[in-house]
Each structure stands twice: as structure tokens, then as C-alpha cells.
Amino acid sequence: MSLKTVQNPPDFFFQKLRFLGPGFILSASIVGSGELIATTILGARGGFITFWVILVSCLIKVAVQLEFGKNAIISGKPLMQEFNQLSGPSLFNVNWAVWSTFILTLLKILQLGGMLGGAAIVLNLIFPQGSIILWIILLGISLSLLIYRNYYLLIEKASTLMVFGFTLFTLVSLVALFYTPFAFSLSDVLTGLSFKLPQEVLFVAIGAFGITGVASDEIIAYTYWCQEKGYAAFTGANDGSESWKYRAKGWIKIMYLDAFLAMIIYTLVTASFYLLGAAILHGNDALPDGMDLINSLAAIYTESLGPGAKFGYLLGAFFALYSSVFATLAYWSRLFPDIFSQFGWINSENREHHKKWVAILAWVFPIVWVITFLFVKLPGFMVLSGGVVGSVLLLVVVAAAIKFRSKNRSLKVVSGQWSEFMFWISVASILTVSVYGIFKLF
């Protein structure tokens, strides 16, 4: 990452577009396994009735994401350093929030194994000459090669490209659906806004809520991408001056624009996936897991666009899954060195030591994900289990967001009554769904 210096934010809209990017990396992570697998399965099992879960998941959590992004810009500090200063108990001088993030993220290894395995299954369907084991090993190697050098710009550009192609194809599929026997009506969609949650789809719904939209992982990851893009460096250290406040307001507003455009993208795609699954696959009680799941989900595209669309679906599905794992590895290789620095294992001031750990983890995590999938081989269950873990991690995220908002409110930087209202609505919704789901499951 190149050094960035203090500078004023641009005034004109098209100039601001040059500084977007963190949200596109987020979309690469979001528009992936949650949409391709969790959302579609929820639509298949719940029909239109649980459409509200997806909309709430996409729209409501962004206010918490914005609070994390704002704090990253204002403080300029690594996130786990901020977590380590939250109130509450500590173990070995490390705050509970850091420990919780560490443990819960490790539990999501199962989810990442399912995502990477899903991408390998897709490649096996396209190129059956290569076995699933061969493809997943090659994918793991490719991920490590792309991430271990720690280039932010590569991550941003690759994420943007992968998201664009699959977003376009999914929206075209939804439109084409209206010219098939599976077309649905506005009344069908409205039944999904009644806020009902049947018991039989509870696990899938909670998993989908935890993994779609900006999940706990993406909210945490967004702080790293905002800082690497340069928003915090451009703003500079808070010296109490009016010029600092001017810069902070300007760069925070650009971050808001970045997050808003990303929200439009992932909400459209997520809603499209859900409606396709509800219209085409609902009532299919035999929807499998394991190696046949991707083939069954391919029915979404073959039914809406015809049998010839299967190759296009598989290609798009690969990029959706691969982009998620790609963005997650980039994030994990930043998160864990940050956590290790709070454990005292890494000197956070030593950039070379930090880069060394990024490179090591960029190889270690794909190896672990590959081994996990080869043992379990149930991508649907693996992905949804990660969503449930993500719902628990959301509670940690909410606690931190409340602290961040309280700490930064006094600065009066981009914080009005509407912002306050949306933040607390977001907090209340996340807490309600997460606590309810955990209670009902356990």
C-alpha cells in the first residue's frame, strides 16, 4: 500500500467516484455464498413468505456498518486496538470483544470451506476432466498467490470485476423469469412483507440473516478497507482544528456514498436470488445438500433462461463463490495479525513483521479451508452454519458500534437526528433477530 498524505475531499460528484472502492470489495464478499446458497435455499423452503428477512438483512445493518467506517476514519487506529478498549471483562489483558471476534471467526472456517468447495464443485461441472479434489487444491493455491503480496488495489479491482458480471446476469435472469410459467405477481411479493417466520425455516432464516447483506464479517472488514483506501490518512490526526473537521466530514460523506452504492448492488442481487428461488424451487422438498446442491440450484437459470443458460449460470456461480472467498481471505489476512498484535504476538508498529504474517496466513487459511471441505462435503450446511455464527458475532459488532457512536458523537461529524434514528433502528433489529434466533435454536 502506498503512503497517503492529508488532503481535502473532492467537491464534485464525478471526482468523488474516483475514491470509491471499499464498498465494492464488500460487495464481492456479500454477493457470493449468502446469495447463491443461503438466500436461494431460504426462498426454496419458505416461498415468498420470508422475503422480509432478506430485505431487513440488506437494508437495516448498513447503519452499523457506517458507524464502523466513520470510526475508522476519525480514529485512524486498527480495529482490534479499538475493540481492546471497550468496556467489559478481559482475559490475559485482552478484551472480551477481541477474544469473541477471534473465536467466532475461527468457527466460520466451516463456512469458508463450504464456499471454496462450492466453487470447486462448479468447476468440476464445467470441466469434469478435473476432480473436485484437484479443483479445490488449485483454487486454494490461486487464492494464496493473489493475496499473499498484500496489494489493496488488486483486491479492489478484482472484486469490482467479479461482482459486475454476476450482478448483471442475475438481474437478467429475474426479468426473463416473467416470460416463463414461473412468473410471479406483486401479491406474491407482498405476502413476503407480513413479517412471518415459520418454525420449519427458522434455521435457514437465521443463517440467511447472519450471512446476507452486510454480515458481521463485512462490517468488521469495512474498517480495514476504508483505512487502506486512504480515508483516514487523507483526514489526518484530529488536532481539534476546523480544517480537520472539514476534512473528516468530507471523507465520511464519500464513505457514505461508497456504502450506499454497495448497498444498492447487494440488495438488488440478494432480492433477485430470493425471488428466483421462491418462484422456481419452492415446494421442492428434495432439494439436496452435498455435491448435488449446485446442480439443483442451476435450475434457477435453466428454468428462467432455458437449458442453454446452464453454462452461464455455472460460470457466474463460480465467480460469485470465488469472489467471496477471495475477499474473505484478504480480510482475514488483515484481521488476524491485528488480533495477534493485541495478544502481544506481533509488534503492530513493525510493518515488515505485519506483512510477513499476512503472507503466512494467506497460505495457511486456504489449506485449512480445503481440508475442512474434504472432511465435511456439505456446502449448504457449511455455509448456513457460518451464517448462524455470524448472527452471534453481530452482537459483538453492535456492542462496539454503540461505543463508537457514543465516543464520536461529541465531535459532531456527520451525525444528525436521521442518522441517530436509523442507527438505533438498526441496533434494535439486529438484536431482536439475533437474540430470538439464538433462543429458538438453543
Which segments of 14-116 are extended strands (E)? 90-91, 94-95
Average pLDDT value for the chain? 83
- In this predicted structure, what is the pLDDT of residue 69? 93
Reported confidence tier of residue 293, pLDDT bands at 50, 70, 90? low
Calculate the CA 387 to chain-centre distance: 11
**Locus of grid cell 489449506:** 367
- At 440, the amino acid letter reads K
- On whether the CB atoms of residues 193 and 292 are closer than 8 A, the answer is no
208 in Cβ contact with 57 (< 8 Å):
yes
- 69-107 confidence digits (pLDDT tens): 999 999 989 999 999 999 999 999 999 999 999 999 999
Mean pLDDT on 384-394: 80
Confidence of residue 188 (pLDDT cuts 50, 70, 90): confident
Q: Helix, strand, or coil here: 129?
A: coil
pLDDT at 46 over 70: yes
CB neighbour class for 107 (10 Å; exposed up to 12, middle 13-18, buried from 19): middle
CA distance 373 to 184: 36
The Cα 373–Cα 297 span in angstroms is: 19
The pLDDT-based confidence of 141 (bands split at 50, 70, 90) is very high
Q: What's the whole-number mean pLDDT along residues 269-295?
A: 70
The answer to whether residue 1 scores a pLDDT higher than 50 is no
- What mean pLDDT do residues 396-401 have? 93
Does 301 score more than 70 pLDDT? no
Hey, which of 230-234, 282-286, 390-394 has the most confident mean pLDDT?
A: 230-234
* Closest of 291, 325, 294, 295 to residue 113, by C-alpha: 325
Where do we find the cell 428466483? 276
Lowest mean pLDDT among 42-51, 238-247, 303-312, 401-410: 303-312
Looking at residue 79, its pLDDT comes to: 94
pTM assigned to the model: 0.86
* Location of C-alpha cell 499473499: 148
List Cβ neighbours of 288 (8 Å cut-off, separation of 6 or more).
296
How confident is residue 265, by pLDDT bands cut at 50, 70 and 90?
confident
Give the pLDDT confidence score for residue 8 in this predicted structure. Answer: 92
With CA atoms as reference, report the closest residue to 338 among 221, 212, 254.
221
Angle between helices 216-229 and 22-30 (to 10 degrees): 150
Sign of the torsion formed by the C-alpha atoms of 215, 218, 222 and 223 = positive
Gap between the Cα atoms of 386 and 376, Å rounded? 14
Q: Any bridge partners for residue 95, and if so which?
A: 90
At 434, list the grid cell: 439475533
Helix, strand, coil % (nearest 5) of the chain? 80, 0, 20
Distance CA 303, CA 279 (A): 10
More confident residue, 189 or 302: 189
Domain positions in the chain: 13-441
| pLDDT value of position 57 | 80
Q: Is the pLDDT of residue 328 over 50?
A: yes
pLDDT on residue 38? 65
Task: Please tell me the predicted confidence (pLDDT) of residue 162.
Answer: 78
pLDDT over 90 at 275, yes or no: no
Position 381 pLDDT exceeds 60: yes
Of 35-39, 74-78, 102-106, 110-114, which range is least confident? 35-39
Tens digits of residue pLDDT in 303-321: 666 666 667 677 777 877 8
Radius of gyration of the chain (CA): 21
CATH number of the domain at 13-441, out of 1.20.1740.10, 3.40.50.300, 3.30.70.380, 1.10.10.10? 1.20.1740.10
pLDDT of residue 2: 43
Is the model's pLDDT at 148 over the cut of 70?
yes
Say if residue 348 is exposed, middle or buried (CB neighbours under 10 Å; 0-12, 13-18, 19+). Answer: middle
